[in-house]
């Protein structure tokens, strides 16, 4: 990193950098002299000198009624940084309190197609949190017939238990029959869920909504504590009324 880049990182703009470096070379100088060296109007140079003086990087003396400017010793840059650091450290507790007051903004991601839905379901595995789910089982099996068995194996391997609300049909009863225990699943049935081509997974502070229509499949992943809490409450309310 060259000296100009370093000074830019320090917080100086290109005008301040130019004037400060020229002053270092010139030593004690009048504004008119600096103006000629940098090629800018004297009014501009005065404005820049004022900014540098405010930051503690330029001082001045008056000799025979004429103002002379001088750049601060380069080592003062380090002192200024240390002083700024102390100021920030003194207000850190207050800043941390303010951060706690700010409400969490929901994080929403959109995933397109079958590959996108698989990405959402893979996130569920990585999270390793208990899952509550509304699912139109026949639709997700139709869309992802080869992936779903793999997903179940991965979920079981990760020790993730799931509560599942699904439609009651001969097909779903056959699928679930005798497999709930080995697949770490507890299933209850609600009528007419099969008319909605969606699967919803609620886990941790996330809600995944999967549209499993064959010609319009996509997933939406929402990460927000309050939204997840609302969906969990809704799920538990329906769960208590559902049939085994």
Last residue of a domain, one of 74, 99, 124: 99
Claim: this prediction has a pTM higher than 0.85? no
| Residue 134: DSSP 8-state | E
Residue in 203, 184, 237, 181 with CA at minimum distance from that of residue 133: 203
Whether residues 169 and 236 fall in one domain: yes
Q: According to the model, what pLDDT value does residue 233 have?
A: 96
Q: According to the model, what pLDDT value does residue 194 have?
A: 60
Number of domains making up the chain: 2
Q: Per the structure block, which two tokens stand in for 134?
A: 């509304």
Spans of the chain, pLDDT less than 70: 1, 100-104, 175-177, 193-195, 244
Do residues 188 and 195 touch, judged by C-beta distance below 8 A?
Answer: no
Whether residues 22 and 72 fall in one domain: yes
Q: According to the model, what pLDDT value does residue 180 have?
A: 87
Q: According to the model, what pLDDT value does residue 19 have?
A: 94
Whether residues 139 and 90 fall in one domain: no
Residue in 36, 11, 13, 16 with CA at minimum distance from that of residue 26: 36
Q: According to the model, what pLDDT value does residue 170 have?
A: 75
Cβ-proximal residues to 95 (8 Å cutoff; 6+ apart), any chain? none
Cα dihedral 100, 103, 104, 105 sign: negative
Last residue of a domain, one of 66, 99, 132: 99
């Amino acid at each position: 990193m060259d000296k100009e880049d370093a000074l830019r990182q320090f917080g100086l703009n290109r005008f301040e950098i130019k004037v400060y470096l020229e002053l270092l070379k010139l030593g004690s100088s009048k504004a008119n002299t600096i103006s000629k060296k940098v090629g800018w109007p004297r009014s501009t140079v005065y404005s820049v000198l004022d900014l540098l003086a405010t930051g503690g990087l330029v001082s001045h003396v008056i000799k025979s009624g004429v103002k002379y400017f001088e750049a601060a010793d380069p080592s003062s840059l380090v002192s200024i940084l240390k002083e700024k650091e102390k100021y920030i450290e003194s207000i850190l507790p207050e800043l941390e309190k303010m951060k706690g007051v700010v409400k969490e903004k929901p994080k929403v991601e959109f995933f397109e197609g079958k590959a996108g839905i698989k990405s959402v379901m893979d996130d569920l595995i990585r999270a390793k949190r208990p899952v509550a789910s509304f699912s139109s089982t026949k639709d997700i099996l139709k869309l992802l017939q080869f992936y779903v068995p793999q997903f179940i194996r991965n979920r079981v391997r990760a020790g993730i238990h799931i509560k599942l609300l699904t439609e009651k049909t001969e097909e779903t009863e056959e699928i679930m029959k005798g497999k709930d225990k080995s697949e770490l699943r507890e299933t209850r049935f609600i009528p007419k869920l099969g008319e909605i081509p969606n699967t919803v997974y609620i886990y941790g502070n996330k809600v995944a909504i999967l549209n499993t229509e064959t010609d319009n499949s996509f997933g939406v992943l929402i990460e927000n504590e309050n939204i997840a809490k609302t969906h969990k409450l809704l799920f538990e309310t329906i769960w208590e009324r559902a049939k085994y």
